[in-house]
A = this chain, B = another copy of it.
């Protein structure tokens, strides 16, 4: 984001303990987002290319020119097992930066997916491969390989800051970023929420009302709610 980090590849980044990442994946986006105080959610236009994928992974960040996917090739070399590519263009682009060949390459390195504030293509093959992508657009428009960007610098992707090594949690609800340094604490809070929700679910399924379970009637009356 500063003038100093264009054309730079940071090779050594720190990642979160895989067990913590695995735990965050199990909690899912909505719970993790709540657990960390309702922050970190990428814009809701970021949608999965197919339903049902649910992952957490360490971010390899890519800052790329509009309509230019050269840096993805550079980034793939930095991918380790359990990583996910996170790409933000310098300026808005819907072009199709990524397709099945790059997915094949990412997977061969142990990578598990892509989050891209731009377009993706080869949807059918990516779906058959079950290689999950969350993107702003599906678009076959080709890209060039002309201009440098950077890999593993802080980026803003779909309205949220993502640092290399931050944890990306993504499922059908969208994409959430968890700071590397907060991940263990967020996981604890998220797991507590899951446990708490389970008992709530049973009571609600039995017909109890949220009004009673959460003891809302008094506060509603105090605010002036009138039943007629």
Contacts and interface: CB of A to CB of B under 8 A. Distances in A.
Interface of A: 1-3, 6-11, 28-30, 33-34, 36-41, 43-44, 47, 50-52, 54, 65-67, 70, 73-74, 76-77, 90-96, 99-102, 104-105, 107-109, 119, 121-124, 127, 137-142, 144-148, 154, 156, 159-161, 171-174, 176, 179, 181-182, 185-186, 197, 200-201, 204-207, 209-211, 214, 216, 220, 223-228
Nearest to A43: B92
A6 B223 CA distance: 11
16 contacts: A9-B225, A30-B122, A38-B91, A39-B90, A44-B137, A52-B124, A54-B124, A66-B67, A70-B220, A91-B95, A101-B200, A105-B210, A123-B171, A123-B172, A138-B174, A140-B173
A123 to B, nearest CB: 4
Contacts of A137: 44
Given A92-B94, A181-B2, A197-B101, A11 B228 contact: yes
Contacts of A39: 1, 3, 6, 90
Contact of A160 (B123, B140, B144, B156): B156
A180 to B, nearest CB: 10
Given A38-B90, A147-B223, A154-B161, 11 more contacts: A9-B228, A30-B99, A30-B121, A30-B142, A54-B124, A65-B67, A66-B93, A74-B211, A93-B93, A104-B204, A127-B172
A210 B71 CA distance: 11
A119 to B, nearest CB: 7
Contacts of A30: 96, 99, 121-122, 140, 142
A159 to B, nearest CB: 6
